Structure 1
């Protein structure tokens, strides 16, 4: 009921009119919203983190559908309702299949993260090597630049290691637990331990169904559902294998999740007691090196940081793999839509657990 009270107070402040009768439920609130803003030009009303409201009031999408449908108070209203949420599975389900709001939205928009160059500019980084390293940790989510790091950015390539220790590995910063929260906020994930294991397997370089199953000690058919859920939540992507037709490889979309699974999760207890220096000193070697060659042909052995271990053009097959410098720009996303849905983060890029192809949701 608190969310309903806050909604009522916000509406009263905007319209400067008090409802004659207090709202009993969301039926009264949504109907009053459309009726009270029926005059004048279009008025944008934004409800952020809509999935949390739906969890508390499952009937809310049906109530909105009734009001914006034939005979509803929203048909003649000036309200343009924008629903935002970062839980991709919930937001995506609002307009799918037999969902009440299917066909009611005039706009559906997934807000993309910054690309590699945009993120570098946003962080004020001019060194392309440093930009790749920072992108491999935080991707292109704008919030990580100021809100999550208090504006702390590495001053130069030599400051990168110290920056990792004082930000992402520092339990006193919001960025420290963000990767865990990204998974926890998805309501479709009911067994976090299993999903963390699947993500850890992918972060360790196991990017096929069989490889992931073998890493976590399950049968391949037992991880089909978790993989589907993670894909629906836009936390992983399934890409076709460029060298093996009919096969696919999985990669983590969010850079921060890959970093957490590969570096932080196994040493979490040490990090919580402020031993970031020791942890990073012993795990830094597993992080992508500062220089590499472009993908030319596959090499033997997967890399924990890339689903396809590339060779340099001059390296013979089977030689030690050089890693790709394809710019990582990954992030998770929110959904955005008008009169029924908007807002957030996603990913794109190349064959790396740090990014996803352009145009992917």
Structure 2
């Protein structure tokens, strides 16, 4: 069956990156398929969803409505006024409820194809929980009436816990959407270009604080970009550690904006526990001072909100490692939150930052660098580097019974070699601030011996060392003999 045709719309010149997102949105909005279509766009706050959708509405001559936190009556009135501005009507319509409002919205497509965007959709559902059911009903009824027309309705929201369930199997809208697009943060390479940072070491340090969220450069620090490595410390003090800048309080807002978060103090404590190195539910519970059963729900909510990830251990199937998904939150809970009172003083930022250097490097940059190394393997490494196509990239721990310890492995790569799937392609160690030497390679070889003793096929497995400051000549010589893969910052940011 031939795919429905769609028009290709030029991406706005002011839009950085987002080529794939723009392509998917324009394909949805201009597709020639008959009848009404529903799309859902989600993503954490500040990623540029509204900018994308507003640009889409403009490019297609569509209707864009951004909901507010308002009563049901005010929301309906504001929608009517927005529709009057769009149609040029002399008087706005006054829908009595959301069923009537949806009828009016769909009528916008009576004469021509129309893209209809409802941004911050969760605000509307808060006042009318039956709104998804109302929408499901009108989609079913209107399909026959609009079979030769093209209304395209896009619902958007930043409340990830809500948006994640909007199309789930228990939702009235399950199976109704032709688009389910998540707008993620910019990748670390794209973020460096967006911040106009060419020095890879500075790029990692900056990304460890603000990640790939576009709004943090423009709206939150007013295009204040660190001017080289020598300016990084001052940049941190005048931006994220400065209570007068909006970036300073953003981490608190991200948590407060999630409707499923009830006891914010408990959630902050859980995030702080993860930020300071606790990766298991038991470790988090111990740091928080609660039983593991008491924090199960908060951890689940934080995962649904997109603030935490739970990544399975590569070698221990019954164990997962919790990690903070947004770098700014990790920075806040490791550096800012413990010294919040001191930061209100005139020289507080400089004092806090001087004291926090070790914490920043060990608890923020180190784990973040490990994450970037895994992302490099997933998105940028040439498959020939590992002798196969990387499919699953994570971290893991390998028990060492003889030494009564376990060894952490920062980068574990599994993939495909020919027709064989799930082959262990590589195990790697990442060091942000340490020149790596042959001892690190020997450690990886020891871990490979432990894995082989457990019956794991390591015949295709290549050791890899990832360093933020480089490698000794002896380790480089081992690379020349094809005994190890070496990945430095230049390769991380520019090579495969």
Higher mean alpha-carbon deviation, 28-37 vs 177-186, is at 28-37
Higher mean alpha-carbon deviation, 172-181 vs 48-57, is at 48-57
User: TM-score with structure 1 length normalisation?
Assistant: 0.80
Matches of 1:202 and 1:101, distance apart in 2: 35
Asked if 1:281 corresponds to 2:354, the answer is yes
Matches of 1:262 and 1:74, distance apart in 2: 57
Q: 1:52 to 1:20 in 2, by over 3 A?
A: closer
Give the strand-richer structure, 1 or 2. 2
User: TM-score with structure 2 length normalisation?
Assistant: 0.59
For 1:153, the equivalent position in structure 2 comes to 225
For 1:219, the equivalent position in structure 2 comes to 291
Aligned residues, how many?
318
For 1:248, the equivalent position in structure 2 comes to 320
- Which of 94, 98, 101 lines up with 2:173 in the alignment? 101
RMSD of Structure 2 on Structure 1 (CA): 3.1
For 1:314, the equivalent position in structure 2 comes to 439
Asked if 1:140 corresponds to 2:265, the answer is no
Asked if 1:200 corresponds to 2:272, the answer is yes
Q: 1:305-349: CA deviations, max 9, x gaps?
A: x9x9956452476xxxxx9658xxxxxxxxxxxxxxxxxxxxxxx
Matches of 2:128 and 2:168, distance apart in 1: 19
Q: CA contact under 8 A between 1:35 and 1:73: conserved in structure 2?
A: no
- Which of 47, 52, 66 lines up with 2:123 in the alignment? 52
In structure 2, runs of 5+ residues without a counterpart are 1-72, 375-394, 399-404, 412-427, 444-464, 469-496
Matches of 2:429 and 2:345, distance apart in 1: 35
Matches of 1:236 and 1:161, distance apart in 2: 27
Higher mean alpha-carbon deviation, 260-269 vs 68-77, is at 68-77
Asked if 1:24 corresponds to 2:77, the answer is no
Give the helix-richer structure, 1 or 2. 2
Q: CA contact under 8 A between 1:34 and 1:78: conserved in structure 2?
A: no
Q: CA contact under 8 A between 1:31 and 1:73: conserved in structure 2?
A: no
Higher relative CO (Cα under 8 Å, sequence separation at least 6) belongs to: 1
In structure 1, runs of 5+ residues without a counterpart are 318-322, 327-361
For 2:14, the equivalent position in structure 1 comes to none
Bigger radius of gyration among the two: 2
Matches of 2:141 and 2:263, distance apart in 1: 41
1:221 is displaced (CA, Å) by: 1.7
Q: 1:61 to 1:88 in 2, by over 3 A?
A: same
Asked if 1:4 corresponds to 2:129, the answer is no
